[in-house]
Amino acid sequence: MRKIHLQYGASGLDLATDAPNVTIVEPRFVPGLPDEAGAFREALRNPIQARPLKEQVGANDRVAVVIPDITRPLPSERLLPWLFAELSQVPAERITIINGTGSHRGNTPAELEKMVGPDVVRKYRIVNHTAHDPKTLAFAGKTADGRPVQMTKEYVEADKRIVLGFIEPHFMAGFSGGYKGIFPAIADIEAITHYHRAAVIADPKSTWGVLEGNPTQEQIRRNGSLLPLTFCVNVTLNNKRQITGYYCGDALEAHRRGCAFAKETAMVACDKAFPVVVTTNGGYPLDQNLYQTVKGMSAAAQIIADDGYILTAARCNDGFPSHGNFKKLLFEHGTPKAILDTVLAPGFSMFDQWEAQMLAMILVRARAGLYSEIPAEDIRRAHVEPVADVSARLAEELQRVGKDAPIAVLPEGPMTIPYLKR
């Protein structure tokens, strides 16, 4: 019996199987930098197509620093103290940290302290972006089709703007990082909803690993740059949350270089589709809800055979979650196809429709099971099979398709993106 350790919650989960034909799909391990702090200082002082950060920020500037929320694994608790040491000329009261929640819920004081560290919480002002509250937003500019975009007021009113982000393959935008830390991370809900409109999500180029010609990424770049961005700090990470590279400076060029590295290390070519794929959502903090777990399922869907079975292990301790209409859309439709018929209907627009659409696009092609903390009945209403034991369910599926059938396992979920050779 073989054991494969899956990333699940904070502690992980062992998959036990005697299947003879297993392909493990995982990123090429890159060791962490031996001196993360020293390499960070070097990256800020010798950035990509930009002047050193310290030279661009004055002591009297109002500085906005945008970080991702708790659903992203960026080591903000390490990066922020190093960043502020480099900006020692700026008084703490001139700096605001903006938690880029997008349309997610705001993070609690305890969560913020865990994200950035107690010293940063005590010393600096931190605001949760609130996409639904116009009082917290200000006009940033207009989209290419003339729609107004509001962003967090402290960002709009800042003299200098810095964004921190983590580069990994992304199921709509091609890759995370770059201007995505600004848009949609600190945009208003109307702009976020339009950005996720059904026709764009359904575009075949709105997918993993594609930057150029990707309509989702094009919106990110266009709308993220409505206001001048002073400096971009992007990192790549390994599965130990160690920093493997810095891509700092100009948001476009630094992002491109980081994406090239991520593609080389985190995307894996496969010769054939598999009738069974086991996946995760990368463990904590990525697998806290089903909304985020669609990413891990989408990673598996890249190599699933038609009518194959995707078996996902994701803790989902935060449920669906509670924000938006994701759960509503899943529960109020009898089939995944019915969800797609609704969201693709001309003129239809609803907050969170995009995640329901992405899940439905997977489920019309493949069957799916989920091992999680979500009540079984709720999982069924989301058109997914509840799974009580991952190892036992895999064994059952292999009895159906044949014990020697090829299966793929993505222990780190969307930290690795497989694709079929064409």
The C-alpha angle 7, 202, 322, rounded to 5 degrees, equals: 50
Alpha-carbon distances, residue 89 vs 53, 77, 93, 121 (angstroms):
12, 21, 12, 19
Q: Which element (helix H / strand E) includes 267?
A: strand 267-270
Closest CA to 233 of 89, 59, 82: 82
Global pTM reads: 0.84
H or E element at residue 24: strand 22-24
User: Which residue type sits at 238?
Assistant: N
Sign of the Cα torsion 206, 207, 210, 216 reads positive
User: 170 an active-site residue?
Assistant: yes
pLDDT of residue 350: 85
> What 3 state SS string does 107-143 have?
CCHHHHHHHHCHHHHHHCEEEECCCCCHHHEEEEEEC
CA proximity to 355, closest of 332, 329, 316, 391:
329
Provide the percentage of residues in the chain whose pLDDT is more than 70: 100
Question: Residue 224 in contact with residue 173, Cβ under 8 Å?
Answer: no
Name the β-bridge partners of 245: 236
To the nearest 5 percent, what fractions of the chain are helix, strand and coil? 35, 25, 40
Which pLDDT band, with edges at 50, 70 and 90, does 323 fall under?
low
User: pLDDT by residue (tens digit) across 218-239?
Assistant: 999 999 999 999 999 999 999 8
Chain centroid to Cα 252, Å, comes to 18
* Catalytic, out of 129, 132, 170, 323: 170
As a whole number of angstroms, the distance between CA 217 and CA 247 comes to 18
d(CA 180, CA 211): 12
pLDDT value, residue 148: 98
Mean pLDDT of 22-41: 95
pLDDT at 347 (0 to 100): 87
Report the pLDDT value the prediction gives residue 35, as an integer from 0 to 100.
98
* Residue 152 vs residue 321, higher pLDDT: 152
Residue type, 412: E
Kindly tell me if the per-residue pLDDT of 422 is higher than 80.
no
Write down all domains in the chain, each with its CATH number in brackets.
2-27+271-420 (3.90.226.30), 36-264 (3.40.50.11440)
Q: Mind listing the pLDDT tens digit for each residue in 259-299? A: 999 999 989 999 999 999 999 999 998 899 999 999 999 99
Residue 324 has pLDDT above 80, yes or no: no
Question: Annotated catalytic, 5?
Answer: no
Q: What is the pLDDT of residues 340-359, one digit of tens each?
A: 999 999 988 888 888 999 99
Burial class of 135 by CB neighbour count within 10 A (0 to 12, 13 to 18, 19+): exposed
Q: What is the pLDDT of residues 360-369, one digit of tens each?
A: 999 999 999 9
Instruction: Assess contact for 117 and 83: CB atoms under 8 A.
Output: no
- For 232, left (φ over 0), alpha (ψ -120 to 50), or beta? beta
> In the 3-class helix/strand/coil scheme, how is 378-415 assigned residue by residue?
HHHHCCCEECCCHHHHHHHHHHHHCCCCCEEEECCHHH
pLDDT average, residue stretch 55-84: 95
Mean pLDDT (whole number) for 317-340: 92
Nearest 5°: the CA angle 74, 311, 358 is 65
